[in-house]
Amino acid sequence: MASPSASDQAKQGLSWMEWLQGWSRVIYELFFQRIEARHLKTPLPLPPLNDLTCIVTGSTSGIGLEIARQLAESGANVVMAVRNPTAAHSLIQTWQNETSSKDSLNIDVMELNLPSLESVVRFSETWDSLGKPLNVLINNAGIFSMGEPQKFSNEGYETHMQVNHLAPALLSLLLLPSLKRGAPRGIINVNSVIHFVSTVDPNDMNFVSGKREFSSLAGYSTSKLAQVMFSNVLHKRLPSESDISIICVEPGCARTKIERDVPKFIREVGYRLFSPVLFNAEEASRSALFAATDPEIPKYCAQLRCDEWPACAYISSSCCPMNPSNEARRLDVSSLVWQKTLDMVGLSGDCLEILLEGKEIQCSLELTLNRNGLY
């Protein structure tokens, strides 16, 4: 896409009315999420999942830990995609000791480091070499370096954008052949209501042009909006016969380790102040678990595609359908974010068709991928 087109269509910021509406939505989520979700049980009851294979990123703490544990205890084959395999193996042993079932939990561990796109490529190559079908990919891992200065990955990308959007997007695309074999199900992106207070400039997803001042909140919210926009385009471009659903979920405002970079004193004061309304990790895992296991979800996603709705499925923290922000539903900007994302992760514009056909694909990391391995 030409830069002038991107500049013309993308906004540099929200209007005051959009800003007010966005923050109203965030505040409402914080203070009323427990009321909205009062009909849900904790833990969320799950059906037997013995035929389900799931990859869960960031599953050694917080929401991801709860997702992985509950899926495994319901019989699913869970692949914990984590930075620290040792911690994952320790958790598995703990869960096995605590389970009432005589059968061993069906859990595998694979190393994945989202700050490195090369790690994402190697993970997908290793998985694909196993030849297994994949039913569900849950992109849960994320960071929010609250109050921290701007940082960049080894690939040169702003760290919130890479960990929360670029790496999961690359992982999702590279695993499409496996997801196609495991359909119907698909990709679940753990998103955030904070995307309501952001815009995305496809020409400045790194916050380096000087047009917008960087803050950790701006970096986090922009990455989450980019994730929704990319998901919307992927949802529309996937052929219906692939039976791959694309879903974003809002976990709710929860006490997790995503704010681990916040000074401990500030973090503890905030948690104590908002403790009555915050979800714990088990409560915050319900929307992702619902999206991964409810039999009506694939039908709902198919209906959205037939109705030509401008967004993929978005599930609230109360496990009900909701609309993402107005900005997220702008298909003109979403298409620019899609193309810019492909450029940043080194994939060609026709990568979707190539991957679904199981053909080899070139990546700018100077690694060649195909369904048989990495060369």
Token output for 75: 């019989």
What's the pLDDT score for residue 374? 34
The pLDDT of 122-151, averaged and rounded, is: 95
What's the pLDDT score for residue 3? 45
What's the pLDDT score for residue 365? 63
With beta carbons less than 8 A apart as the criterion, state whether 178 and 278 touch.
Answer: no
Q: Which residues contact 83 (CB under 8 A, 6 or more apart)?
A: 60, 111, 112, 113, 114
CA distance 70 to 78: 10
The pLDDT of 192-204, averaged and rounded, is: 97
Per DSSP (E only), the strands in 51-132 are 53-57, 77-82, 107-111
In degrees to the nearest 10, what's the CA dihedral of 255, 260, 261, 262? 40
Q: Quick check: 371 pLDDT over 60? A: no
What's the pLDDT score for residue 263? 59
Q: Quick check: 24 pLDDT over 50? A: yes
With beta carbons less than 8 A apart as the criterion, state whether 7 and 203 touch.
Answer: yes
| Assigned fold of 16-357 | Rossmann fold (3.40.50)
220 in catalytic set = yes
Fill in the DSSP letter of residue 184. S
The pLDDT of 50-67, averaged and rounded, is: 97
Q: Quick check: 126 pLDDT over 60? A: yes
What's the pLDDT score for residue 308? 85
- Alpha-carbon distances of 50 from 77, 127, 201, 340, rounded to whole Å: 7, 20, 43, 39
The pLDDT of 221-228, averaged and rounded, is: 98
Which of the residue ranges 151-165, 191-205, 269-283, 337-351 would you say has the lowest mean pLDDT?
269-283
Q: Which residues contact 373 (CB under 8 A, 6 or more apart)?
A: 125, 128, 129
The pLDDT of 39-54, averaged and rounded, is: 97
What's the pLDDT score for residue 367? 43
What's the pLDDT score for residue 103? 79
What's the pLDDT score for residue 245? 98
What's the pLDDT score for residue 264? 64
9 pLDDT band, cuts 50/70/90, is: low
In degrees to the nearest 10, what's the CA dihedral of 168, 270, 256, 97? 170
Write down the mean pLDDT value for the chain. Answer: 91
262 pLDDT band, cuts 50/70/90, is: low
Q: What is the pTM of this model?
A: 0.93
Fill in the DSSP letter of residue 191. -
The active-site residue out of 220, 300, 314, 375 is 220
The pLDDT of 339-351, averaged and rounded, is: 96
What's the pLDDT score for residue 375? 28
- CA angle at 59 for the pair 55 and 62, rounded to the nearest 5°: 140
Which of 227, 189, 195, 192 lies closest to 56 in space, CA to CA?
Answer: 189
- What does R_g of the chain's alpha carbons equal in angstroms? 19
CA distance 213 to 206: 11
Q: Which residue has the higher pLDDT, 268 or 316?
A: 316
The pLDDT of 334-359, averaged and rounded, is: 95
What's the pLDDT score for residue 272? 72
With beta carbons less than 8 A apart as the criterion, state whether 263 and 287 touch.
Answer: no
Q: Which residue has the higher pLDDT, 258 or 351?
A: 351
| DSSP reduced 3-state for 333 | helix
Q: Quick check: 247 pLDDT over 50? A: yes
Q: Quick check: 311 pLDDT over 90? A: yes
The pLDDT of 17-32, averaged and rounded, is: 96
1 pLDDT band, cuts 50/70/90, is: very low
